[in-house]
Structure 1
Amino acid sequence: MADKPIRVLVVDDDPGARSLHGRFVSGTPGFALAGTVGLGEAAIDRGLRGGVDLILLDMRLPDISGIEVLHQLRTFGSRSPDVLVISSSRDQITVRQALAAHVVGYLVKPFTQEALQERLRVYRAERRAREHNERERPLGQGEIDRLLSTGRIRLPAASARNWRRAAGSAPPLPSTTPPRLPKGLSEVTLARVVDALDPVSTISAAELAERCTISRATARRYLDYLVSEGTIDLAHRYGKRGRPEVLYRLAPSPAGGDQE
């Protein structure tokens, strides 16, 4: 059965650009134009209603900025569409803010049909590889043990204590249904990251990336999420020069939390 086309929403305040980029999308195999809008609020509304997998987002919009659109889209969690920025904005602040919101690409205007279609083909290949890896990656022994003891791979923070108890052959504590992860994070990779952390020994983002065979940028995204969830603690290692190195470790369980 053929793959479903990736549904794309074009967001641009210029009607001519919306029409042109919409034609570029429609002419790209594996993609379908879901619509075009000229306002940031309309883009957020379409993203919330669903039916959009990827948004081509201009940064300069008449009502709210593209950065604000990105921030509001990210509050949707796993429902948030991916975003490819298409903009003439090249200033460092805008570019850095967009990249910090985990966009899948940043294409500077003006661009040709071939340039956009190449970006879309790369995105489609990466999306399919990501989905395949999440389905097919072999589980490690620790992950298998957790599946046996809990029935599924759980998410932090409360369930992280269950994972540690399962690894020590102690009965797992009751757990609730885990919350949805932010866009771009997967349960399987999150389980690998938590496995690599220890409540006593600290580890740097670079060491974690090597241990989990992921990029440093990916490792930092998972670590930032775990910090926000209260699952890990931060420490600093000071050298003779330069900025201190940030180190991570699993947060200790609350007092009495692991008592039967």
Structure 2
Amino acid sequence: MIRVLVVDDDFMVARVHSGFVERTPEYEVVGTAHTGAEAIESVVRLRPDLVLLDIYLPDMTGLEVIQQLRAHAATGVDVIVVSAARDAESVKQALRGGVVSYLIKPFRYQDLRERLEQYAEWHRSLGDLTESRREEARQEDIDRFFARRTGGAAPSGMPKGITAETIELVRNALRSAGGNGLSAAECAESIGISRASARRYLQHLATTGAAEVRSRYGSTGRPERRFRAIV
């Protein structure tokens, strides 16, 4: 079983997220925490495999929690951020802190389940790599391991310049926008990336069938291309 600590300042939200985790095969919740200090203490005491971590906590930010966990030699724990924070700086700091995924609130159970299943697959591959009788890993083993780590495809299957983490941020932004969809400029502002990058990711989602694109014509100028998630 994969042991999970749920961290959220809202007691009811923590309960809901714990229920989501418990519904997912291979997972169990070993504790909940509602402050940053309590989260750090719980990680040291309970030694979970994974932390579902909110950014907005009453005593410190979740980003500061990640920094302290990374500085603590005894806390080799993975983190999935689950937060309403979608500003560019929070996302960048979380990614630099080594989080395995970033899920924007509010979200559906299926959204979290997909990430937990990806993490479980990576967790199994870590065990395979650790238990291998070979003294040295092959490059293809390492490639598969890191692909599962990010929930993406192997390097040869992912378009150049496209990462699984940013794809999920863009997809979540589209879902939050609902039927109106987003333009590349709106998407870029929403998740904190350049307009060119947003356009590239939106086009990738449209090409793979995860989004649809429509042109909206104004009174003057070129039509605006708007993208909408296909659930």
**Bucket of the pairwise TM-score, normalised by the shorter protein:** 0.5 to 0.7
The one of 32, 36, 42 equivalent to 2:28 is 32
- SS of 1:77 mapped into structure 2: coil
Q: What amino acid is aligned across from residue 108 of structure 2 in structure 1?
A: T
Which residue of 69, 72, 85 corresponds with 2:81? Answer: 85
Greater C-alpha Rg: 1
Distance 1:137 1:78 in 2: 26
Q: Which of structure 1's runs of 4+ aligned residues deviate more than 6 A?
A: none
The corresponding residue for 2:179 is none
Q: Within 1, Cα distance between the matches of 2:81 and 2:133? A: 30
Q: Residue in 1 aligned with 2:187?
A: none
Tell me, yes or no, if the aligned pair for 1:6 and 1:53 is still in contact at 8 Å. yes
- CA 1:16–1:47: 2 relative to 1, 3 Å: same
Aligned letter for 1:15? F
Q: Does 1:41 align with 2:37?
A: yes
Tell me the C-alpha RMSD between the 2 structures: 2.3
Indicate if the aligned counterparts of 1:57 and 1:86 stay in contact, CA closer than 8 A.
yes
Select which of 60, 67, 72 maps to 1:64: 60
Matching of residue 114 in structure 1 with residue 110 in structure 2: yes
SS of the residue aligned with 2:60? Answer: coil
**CA displacement at 1:75 relative to structure 2:** 1.6
**Is 1:102 matched with 2:63?**
no
Tell me the SS of whatever aligns to 2:134. Answer: coil
Provide closer, same or farther for how the CA distance between residues 47 and 41 of structure 1 changes in structure 2, counting only shifts above 3 A: same
Displacement of 1:130: 1.9
Aligned length: 141
**CA distance in 2: counterparts of 1:17 and 1:80, whole angstroms:** 25
Alignment-mate amino acid for residue 37 of structure 1: A
Amino acid at match of 1:68: E
Residue identity matched to 2:17 = H
State how far apart, in whole Å, the 1-side matches of 2:91 and 2:18 are: 23
Structure 1: segments with no counterpart, 5+ residues: 144-188, 190-209, 211-260
TM-score, normalised to structure 2, is 0.57
Provide the C-alpha distance between the structure 2 equivalents of 1:9 and 1:59, rounded to a whole number of angstroms: 15
Identify the residue that residue 4 of structure 2 maps to in structure 1: 8
CA deviation map 1:158-208 (0-9, x unaligned): xxxxxxxxxxxxxxxxxxxxxxxxxxxxxxx8xxxxxxxxxxxxxxxxxxx
Contact 2:3 2:30 in 1 (8 A): yes
Q: Percent identity?
A: 42
Unaligned 5+ segments in structure 2 are: 143-154, 156-231
Contact 1:50 1:79 (C-alpha < 8 Å) held by counterparts: no
Contact preservation (8 Å) 2:44, 2:74: no
